Chains A and B, each alone.
Chain A
């Protein structure tokens, strides 16, 4: 799909292991990290990570949340019982950060590393169309400030190689001379692993100079998930976490499951289940355009869902998809008594048999005919492509047969016209 962020726990383990593999064994500490989630058995955790009971610790939620320090989501210099109590207090609690509400259920624990501010460095690598850029600054940590303005940069062009000498000359300005060799080797290995292991973003802030080696204190990373087939072995076993936010709804999980089992693409995001306007759109591009148009015509607040079905779903899959949406849509009538609107939209299909994909939707309409009438549903259909005439005719027929108001349009009508019609209904 694309760039995916990974958990700090997975990132530290991965980068720390790979550093050793890519020649930085002598210059980087091996990271000790432990993960706690709902299912964690503490006894087992301690057995695996005996340092938990011997060291002072740091603990924080590990769910792609930014600025944890500022949101009281960080405990420093605590012993294990304190850490446990701190986690227990927060596990499965809902919190809101920057308008996003979510449940906290995953934590990372590490040894607390006391150090001087002067031992902190900032290192990052990111990718652009023409190459990868390494950023370094002689200071680091949360208070490093406007790093974009301050950092030294070294660009490695796509068809070029990292020039090791330039690490020193371009990046390591202001670093005490006795530390240069270690940092040079560290950055060189870090870049190699970044390039070899499918990273698209890696930020270590701070990397701390400790006993002539570097330790990763805070780390954020993104991988290119399409590289899994060639980098999966380097990644080891881990899962991409969902972004921090509300838990997915049952219906969304149901569609996600269907999607994962199918060659076709089935997507559903519920924006507001109580809202009035529902969409069931074929094709990725078209689904964005329909959603855009609803928002651009001022009805974004009334939009209930975003989703798409594409890639020639089977009759059974389009039936399941339609049923899931109709179930949600007909759960209760609009509180103000306005009609509920369903947009069955789509552009002109390339090769998908329109009549065939409609047959599953039509079956769902028949099944939910009474419920749809109970919420005063008005349905608007627009589609083109192979066999569209038959598909549209069947849509008209089912409307007549079960007494549902279904308006049907083909390619002679502009794709988003039915949004206009729906909003006016």
Chain B
């Protein structure tokens, strides 16, 4: 079947729940998942797919805040799983789903577990949360007992029925599931206090079931049949003993393996069950925590129940009792693999088990992200970005963490330095950028940008639309002269032109010199903004040859006409280049690229944005009505 797509069979499942008492999970078992655990759900479905299950093992999800459907993969196809508001609703709509897997937090797990136990169609409730108060757990245990239901957990990863069904995240990644042959039903029943160690034991069992001297490693003894982690709490819903005597009854199971733990006295019940003949199949068992004697005083291990309050609760005492009762107890965990192998060989010699051909696993498609992480695939990116990065613990601007940008007072000028020029600019330069932003922030309501903003605001448009309509007027005639000025003046200086020659060349081209000339200002009525810029440039930018050149040009043009002064565009356009030169951070090629890219319009854009937002708010505050331009102001022809 390999990688081929498989359609999900649609059929009525209500007739198929006739599994024997000892069988909690079979190949048609379906579960209701409480809480939106998308990863766990996908892992269950991937397991199903690898096992060649005909239907997904997840019937429904209960998640009050998002009823609807959840989309997930079945092999490489996508399927939808319904999401319900309440457990009751999910259980009523999916009567065949008899397993409830509760991923609620320790705070709310009690209520949701209780509700699940009360649904007649639910037979097994697995509780994942760790840290449920013991009194609450005991209530659930008693309730489950009263209703004749199985409860697995709290504080557990769950369990697995090899080749048929698994609870949530049990047995880890799909690679591990395939490596440890959990996609095929086997002959070992395993129960454990520890969820983490179950994974290890599935591995131990899959290593032990290989046949000595057999070259063909697809020929092996059957591995795991069922594995249950009962959870580390003091009062698990079901105990190692409960599951051992249940699994013992399964004729497919030929060997039992159990991993107990220091604390509690459940292991004695198992010892008694061996003595009384309740357990007859070979049981390999080890009780963890023999090291507790190394510790001074009482020791509490990670599990709530892992603590010996009395000598008989120690791992040593329990291992001894089990051994005496007839369990196969290794001398240490280190021998466990060999001991299991020994039982395999013994059962094989008695013909209780026989080698089987392990079928090849169905390949479960791998997620792109995982494949990429493992270096299995690569894909070219569509974008590249170098100025900022939001992926790490902290946002960075050109590699500088935002806490440093704020903490060391980079300010707006410094931030522009990082994001536009990818440099840590000296203070004189970042201050200069801020100066420009202040000077260009607004220029009254009559200029085209402000005007458009006002008209759009009065037409009832939102802030972004109104400001955008103003912004869109920025270009060669409005604001854009800064760029033109810097390009023209730079080229003249680069070509070594004298001011006279520059003016002549512009005249020949028939183009007014960008950055020169003002509608109302003149030599006798100077523009204060230009004065400020000139002074700043001459004071801070050393040679400042661009603005000085522009001032020489102004000397000549004003002789022709009083209003042909260096205007604010020209002052910014030229002094800006002087700033870039003065920082010593950029070579000529870079400066040329900034100028060509039209950085200066950007500066005007950022600056003027402040004014436009202001105009929008102003119009709103004044509740200005729709503007209609008067007929008499238009020449109709």
A104 → B minimal CB distance (Å):
15
State which of B141, B197, B234 has its C-beta within 8 Å of the C-beta of A286: B197
Indicate whether B403 reaches chain A with its CB closer than 8 angstroms. no
List the B residue with the shortest CB-CB distance to A98: B297
Task: Count residues of chain A with CB under 8 A from any CB of chain B.
Answer: 66
Indicate whether B367 reaches chain A with its CB closer than 8 angstroms. no
List the B residue with the shortest CB-CB distance to A416: B334
State which of B197, B305, B375 has its C-beta within 8 Å of the C-beta of A347: B197
Task: Count residues of chain B with CB under 8 A from any CB of chain A.
Answer: 63
Is B196 touching A350 in the complex (CB atoms < 8 A)?
Answer: yes
Indicate whether A269 reaches chain B with its CB closer than 8 angstroms. yes
- Known contacts A351-B173, A386-B173, A414-B207: does B107 contact A127 (CB below 8 Å)? no
Is B204 touching A414 in the complex (CB atoms < 8 A)?
Answer: yes
Indicate whether B307 reaches chain A with its CB closer than 8 angstroms. yes
A296: chain B residues at CB < 8 Å are 290, 331-334
B157: chain A residues at CB < 8 Å are 350
Indicate whether A141 reaches chain B with its CB closer than 8 angstroms. no
- Known contacts A157-B142, A284-B196: does B133 contact A224 (CB below 8 Å)? yes
Is B142 touching A284 in the complex (CB atoms < 8 A)?
Answer: no
- The CA-CA distance from A224 to B305 in the complex, in Å, is 12
Indicate whether B37 reaches chain A with its CB closer than 8 angstroms. no
- Known contacts A285-B195, A411-B179: does B333 contact A292 (CB below 8 Å)? yes
Is B294 touching A291 in the complex (CB atoms < 8 A)?
Answer: yes
Is A226 touching B134 in the complex (CB atoms < 8 A)?
Answer: yes
Indicate whether A227 reaches chain B with its CB closer than 8 angstroms. yes
- The CA-CA distance from A385 to B203 in the complex, in Å, is 11
- Known contacts A271-B295, A285-B195: does B143 contact A226 (CB below 8 Å)? no
Indicate whether A3 reaches chain B with its CB closer than 8 angstroms. yes
Q: Which residue, A1, A99, A303, has most C-beta atoms of chain B within 10 A?
A: A1
Q: Which residue, A288, A310, A419, has most C-beta atoms of chain B within 10 A?
A: A288
B196: chain A residues at CB < 8 Å are 283-286, 310, 347, 350
Query: Among A29-37, A83-91, A240-248, which stretch is in contact with chain B?
Result: A240-248
Interface residues of B in 285-316 (CB under 8 A from A): 288-291, 293-298, 300-307, 315
Interface residues of B in 161-180 (CB under 8 A from A): 169, 171-173, 175-176, 179
Indicate whether B337 reaches chain A with its CB closer than 8 angstroms. yes
Indicate whether B598 reaches chain A with its CB closer than 8 angstroms. no
Is A226 touching B141 in the complex (CB atoms < 8 A)?
Answer: no
Indicate whether B132 reaches chain A with its CB closer than 8 angstroms. yes
State which of A100, A293, A303, A387 has its C-beta within 8 Å of the C-beta of B294: A303
Is A347 touching B199 in the complex (CB atoms < 8 A)?
Answer: yes
Indicate whether A2 reaches chain B with its CB closer than 8 angstroms. yes
A387: chain B residues at CB < 8 Å are 373-374
List the B residue with the shortest CB-CB distance to A389: B374
Is A226 touching B195 in the complex (CB atoms < 8 A)?
Answer: no
B307: chain A residues at CB < 8 Å are 2-3
State which of A3, A159, A229, A284 has its C-beta within 8 Å of the C-beta of B301: A284
Is B304 touching A226 in the complex (CB atoms < 8 A)?
Answer: yes
Indicate whether B131 reaches chain A with its CB closer than 8 angstroms. yes
- Known contacts A3-B307, A226-B131: does B290 contact A292 (CB below 8 Å)? yes
List the B residue with the shortest CB-CB distance to A284: B302
State which of B146, B197, B334, B374 has its C-beta within 8 Å of the C-beta of A414: B334
B79 → A minimal CB distance (Å):
23
A419: chain B residues at CB < 8 Å are 334
Is B142 touching A348 in the complex (CB atoms < 8 A)?
Answer: no
Indicate whether A249 reaches chain B with its CB closer than 8 angstroms. no
A269: chain B residues at CB < 8 Å are 295
Indicate whether A420 reaches chain B with its CB closer than 8 angstroms. yes
- The CA-CA distance from A359 to B225 in the complex, in Å, is 36
Indicate whether A200 reaches chain B with its CB closer than 8 angstroms. yes
Indicate whether A47 reaches chain B with its CB closer than 8 angstroms. no
Indicate whether B135 reaches chain A with its CB closer than 8 angstroms. yes
Indicate whether B477 reaches chain A with its CB closer than 8 angstroms. no
List the B residue with the shortest CB-CB distance to A2: B304
Is A224 touching B332 in the complex (CB atoms < 8 A)?
Answer: no
- Mostly, the A contact residues are mixed
Indicate whether B601 reaches chain A with its CB closer than 8 angstroms. no
- The CA-CA distance from A385 to B176 in the complex, in Å, is 7
Is A297 touching B133 in the complex (CB atoms < 8 A)?
Answer: no
- The CA-CA distance from A195 to B139 in the complex, in Å, is 12
A200: chain B residues at CB < 8 Å are 134
State which of B203, B302, B333 has its C-beta within 8 Å of the C-beta of A348: B203
State which of B142, B175, B197, B288 has its C-beta within 8 Å of the C-beta of A130: B142
A225 → B minimal CB distance (Å):
9
Indicate whether B138 reaches chain A with its CB closer than 8 angstroms. yes
Is B291 touching A300 in the complex (CB atoms < 8 A)?
Answer: yes
State which of A1, A157, A303, A349 has its C-beta within 8 Å of the C-beta of B300: A1
Is A289 touching B294 in the complex (CB atoms < 8 A)?
Answer: no
List the B residue with the shortest CB-CB distance to A420: B334
- The CA-CA distance from A27 to B193 in the complex, in Å, is 45
- The CA-CA distance from A411 to B135 in the complex, in Å, is 39
State which of B141, B143, B300 has its C-beta within 8 Å of the C-beta of A129: B141
Indicate whether B616 reaches chain A with its CB closer than 8 angstroms. no
Is A2 touching B294 in the complex (CB atoms < 8 A)?
Answer: no
A243: chain B residues at CB < 8 Å are 297-298
Indicate whether A158 reaches chain B with its CB closer than 8 angstroms. yes
State which of B142, B169, B207 has its C-beta within 8 Å of the C-beta of A350: B169
A294: chain B residues at CB < 8 Å are 291
B235: chain A residues at CB < 8 Å are 129
Indicate whether B36 reaches chain A with its CB closer than 8 angstroms. no
B9 → A minimal CB distance (Å):
30
Indicate whether A295 reaches chain B with its CB closer than 8 angstroms. yes
A64 → B minimal CB distance (Å):
10
List the A residue with the shortest CB-CB distance to B192: A285
Indicate whether B200 reaches chain A with its CB closer than 8 angstroms. yes
- The CA-CA distance from A289 to B203 in the complex, in Å, is 15
Is B333 touching A351 in the complex (CB atoms < 8 A)?
Answer: no
- Known contacts A292-B288, A411-B179: does B142 contact A159 (CB below 8 Å)? yes
Is B207 touching A412 in the complex (CB atoms < 8 A)?
Answer: yes
Indicate whether A313 reaches chain B with its CB closer than 8 angstroms. no
Indicate whether A230 reaches chain B with its CB closer than 8 angstroms. yes
Indicate whether A207 reaches chain B with its CB closer than 8 angstroms. no
Interface residues of B in 103-151 (CB under 8 A from A): 106-107, 131-135, 138-139, 141-143, 146
- Known contacts A289-B333, A292-B332: does B172 contact A348 (CB below 8 Å)? yes
- The CA-CA distance from A246 to B293 in the complex, in Å, is 17
A387 → B minimal CB distance (Å):
6
- Known contacts A293-B334, A348-B176: does B133 contact A2 (CB below 8 Å)? no
Is A300 touching B334 in the complex (CB atoms < 8 A)?
Answer: no
Is B143 touching A416 in the complex (CB atoms < 8 A)?
Answer: no
Is A100 touching B296 in the complex (CB atoms < 8 A)?
Answer: yes
A318 → B minimal CB distance (Å):
16
- The CA-CA distance from A308 to B235 in the complex, in Å, is 24
- The CA-CA distance from A158 to B134 in the complex, in Å, is 11
A244: chain B residues at CB < 8 Å are 297
- Known contacts A130-B142, A384-B203: does B305 contact A293 (CB below 8 Å)? no
- Known contacts A245-B296, A292-B291, A292-B333: does B301 contact A348 (CB below 8 Å)? no
A99: chain B residues at CB < 8 Å are 296
- The CA-CA distance from A308 to B176 in the complex, in Å, is 22
Can you give 10 contacting A-B residue pairs, CB < 8 Å? A224-B134, A288-B194, A288-B261, A289-B333, A291-B291, A296-B290, A297-B332, A349-B172, A351-B169, A387-B374
Nearest 6 interchain pairs by C-beta:
A285-B194, A296-B332, A284-B302, A347-B200, A285-B197, A227-B133
Q: Supply 17 further A-B pairs (C-beta < 8 A) apart from A269-B295, A415-B204.
A: A2-B303, A158-B138, A226-B106, A285-B200, A285-B302, A288-B291, A288-B302, A296-B290, A296-B332, A297-B334, A348-B200, A350-B157, A350-B199, A351-B169, A385-B176, A415-B200, A416-B334
